[in-house]
Each structure stands twice: as structure tokens, then as C-alpha cells.
Amino acid sequence: MPIDHRLSPEHEELRRTVEEFAHDVIAPKIGEFYENHEFPYEIVREMGRMGLFGLPFPEEYGGMGGDYLALGLVLEELARVDSSIAITLEAGVSLGAMPVYRFGTEEQKREWLPRMCSGEILGAFGLTEPDCGSDAGGTRTTAVRDGDAWVINGSKSFITNSGTDITGLVTVTAVTGRKPDGRPEISSIIVPSGTPGFTVAPAYSKVGWNASDTRELSFSDVRVPAANLLGEEGRGYAQFLRILDEGRIAISALATGLAQGCVDESVSYAKTRRAFGKPIGDNQAIQFKLADMEMRAHTARLAWRDAASRLLAGEPFKKEAALAKLYSSEIAVTNAREATQIHGGYGFMNEYPVARMWRDSKILEIGEGTSEVQRMLIARELGFAS
């Protein structure tokens, strides 16, 4: 039986609403924020008022009662215009709020989720470390139990949404013990912003995503209540694997949006830019580039929606999420390169959206699992040991 990826009326209405918001509100303003490396607080506040940060969460916690498909649709539409805005939402939902929803106690959910769902505060997920990227099992940050508190020491790097004026918490993975075989026992702990000893470094100077917030974090004898443990002690590694599996669907939707945005901008440019007395779109070489770009974006869309549908159905989705993330991120890079080529010299000018898309695309092959990690996961699902 064929898989039906046509949208319900509710999902289509949401998609159209966000499409209009992206073009009418984000597009005219985001270029200045991007070039000035400024976080777009007013746009983020508006997204909060629209309920976008609460899309996949139940209404009892301040959410919209939607699902992961709805989140993916929103991320795709945002990224068609700008990826900094899209990654702010993706990280705030998938990495900031979702761990609390999936693994938090009822008290933790009621304390944190309503404010994250409304966009009043942002959450972040502190996983990556300076000496520990893809090898998350090599975590060096430690958390030691001292009475009714955890004492945390260590550092994290490349953490999105961690240093804004509205960041409320960072969920940190830390070694809390050792297993019988000597491997680290990793747990997840909520660290509220402003906790003494918790230092947020200045924002990175990045190649792309320049209107989003990314920082290095350090923890020096940071004390938080023992009740801030998220989920079971020693289960942090398994927890973040689940969070990353879901997050790959979201990143795939974002990458698809960037790839489609490259098509949108290039089609418009090819119809208006004239050379040798005619629009450059009259040249078959340009038409074929555009056809290939549209094919890639369409296929990526099918891939992330398939993974999302499996997640919503309660079926295994690890392989499909890895496939979607791998394919969509790599074709986003390809489409961005081709869009720049079609625009010629103008594609190298920051005033054109494709210049941002080109700069933003590469990180999609790295963040939330590199392309190499995705291939490893797919091979495992095919029955090969790594």
C-alpha cells in the first residue's frame, strides 16, 4: 500500500500560516540581523505568540497539542527563508523542551514546559564538549552527588540557544559514576541560567547561522538541587540517543526547507536575470540545474515525512531518521552550491538570500550527527557491526 504524505486540512493551514509569516515578517528583516550577528528577539517573541515553540506538546503543559509532523512543516517553511530562525525553533523544541517532556518528572514539566512552550524562555541541550563531538560516550563533564545537590564541573561547546537574554535552562550530560566494566555512567541534569559557577562564553564567530545563538559553556563547582536530575540516574546516554533520533527528523525538515528555498530563489532569479538578450532561464543548462534541485528537495521532503509518520505511528524510525538527515543535509549543500552558481557574482553578495543559504548549509552535514555517523547508523540497521 502506498504511503500517503498528503497533509490534513489542519496541517496545511499551519503550513500556509507559517509560510506567510516567513515571507511577510522574517524575510524583510532577517538580513540585517544576520549581517550584524544579532539575535532577533522580536521575531522569536512573535513565534512564541503563534504557539510555534509549543507545537508538539500537550495543552496541559501550555503546548498546542500538535505532533512532530507539524513541527517539521514549520521548520521547513522557516528554513525556506532563513535557517537561523529555523534552528532557534528546532533547538528550543527538540533539544530544549523535548528532554523535559520525554524524561522529566511531573514537577519538572510543570515548572519548565509552559514557559518554554510560550517562548518566554528558551532551553538548550549541553551535550557536545571541546574534546568530545561525535563520541558522546567520551563525556568528561562530571556531576558528583553532595547531599541534596549535584556539583558539576566541565565544559560544553557549540550549544545553541544557551546565552540569549531569554535562555532559562541548559540540560547538561555529565558522568555521574562508572559501570562495572569501567565505562562512564552518564546522567542528564537541569542547570538553570544564572546558577553560580555556570559561565556562558561570548557568542562564537560563525560561518553561518549568524542570527542564532551558539556558545561555549563552563561549569565550575556548579551546585543544583538533586531534584534537577532529568530521568533516571545513569540513563542520560540512552536519553540523548532518543532525543537525537527525533531531532534528526527535525533537522532533515530544516535542510529540506533550505534546499527548497534555493529552488525558490533560483527560479525567480532565472526568470528575471537577462544575459545575451534573454532570461537565463531560457537556457537548457539552467533549466536542468533547476529540475535537479527540485528533484532533490522533493525527495528529501518525502524522506523526512516518512520518518515522521513512523515516529507518530509508534514504529521503529531510527534508520529512516538517519536516512532522511543524511540525504537532506547533503542535498541542501548541493542545492546551495548550485543556487550560488545560477546567481553568478550576485550569489556571492550577502544581500542575496542564496549567499546566506550557502553559508548556512554546511553545518547541516555536521550538527546532530555528522554524515559519517548517519552512515554508521544506517549500516548498523542493515546488520553490520561497527
Lookup: cell for 172? 547538561
Lookup: cell for 4? 500517503
Domain with residue 14: its CATH number is 1.10.540.10
pLDDT recorded at residue 133: 67
Kindly state whether residue 187 falls inside one of the protein's structural domains.
yes
Work out whether strand 278-279 and strand 274-275 pair parallel, antiparallel, or are unpaired: antiparallel
Whether 360 and 247 share a structural domain = yes
pLDDT recorded at residue 131: 82
Judge whether 53 and 116 are in contact, CB under 8 Å: yes
CA distance 97 to 343: 39
Kindly state whether residue 319 falls inside one of the protein's structural domains.
yes
Residues noted as catalytic: 368
Domain boundary among 185, 214, 233: 233
CA distance 200 to 191: 12
Tally of domains in the chain: 3
Whether 257 and 375 share a structural domain = yes
Domain boundary among 71, 90, 122: 122
The SS3 call for residue 200 is strand
Domain interval for residue 145: 123-233
CA distance 124 to 159: 7
Kindly state whether residue 3 falls inside one of the protein's structural domains.
no
Domain boundary among 175, 201, 233: 233
Judge whether 39 and 211 are in contact, CB under 8 Å: yes
Whether 248 and 359 share a structural domain = yes
Kindly state whether residue 1 falls inside one of the protein's structural domains.
no
Domain with residue 219: its CATH number is 2.40.110.10
Helices (H), the chain: 9-21, 27-35, 41-49, 68-79, 83-90, 98-103, 106-117, 236-272, 284-312, 318-343, 353-361, 371-381
Domain with residue 362: its CATH number is 1.20.140.10
Q: Which amino acid is at 127?
A: L
DSSP 12: H
Whether 147 and 57 share a structural domain = no
Whether 306 and 350 share a structural domain = yes
Whether 62 and 180 share a structural domain = no
Within 10 A of 370 (CB to CB), how many other CB atoms are there? 16
Kindly state whether residue 130 falls inside one of the protein's structural domains.
yes
- Residues 6 or more apart in contact with residue 373 via CB below 8 angstroms: 134
Tens of pLDDT along the chain (386 residues) come to: 345 678 999 999 999 999 999 999 999 999 999 999 999 999 999 999 999 999 999 999 999 999 999 999 999 999 999 999 999 999 999 999 999 999 999 999 999 999 999 999 999 999 999 887 667 668 899 999 999 999 999 999 999 999 999 999 999 999 999 988 888 999 999 999 999 999 999 999 999 999 999 999 999 999 999 999 999 999 988 898 889 899 999 999 999 999 999 999 999 999 999 999 999 999 999 999 999 999 999 999 999 999 999 999 999 999 999 999 999 999 999 999 999 999 999 999 998 999 999 999 999 999 989 999 999 999 999 999 86
CA distance 205 to 249: 27
CA distance 27 to 267: 17
DSSP per residue, 160-178: ETSSSTTEEEEEEEEEEEE
DSSP per residue, 33-92: HHHTT---HHHHHHHHHTTGGGTTS-GGGT-----HHHHHHHHHHHHTT-HHHHHHHHII
Kindly state whether residue 2 falls inside one of the protein's structural domains.
no
- Residues 6 or more apart in contact with residue 72 via CB below 8 angstroms: 249, 250, 252, 253, 304, 305, 308
Kindly state whether residue 4 falls inside one of the protein's structural domains.
no
pLDDT recorded at residue 2: 43
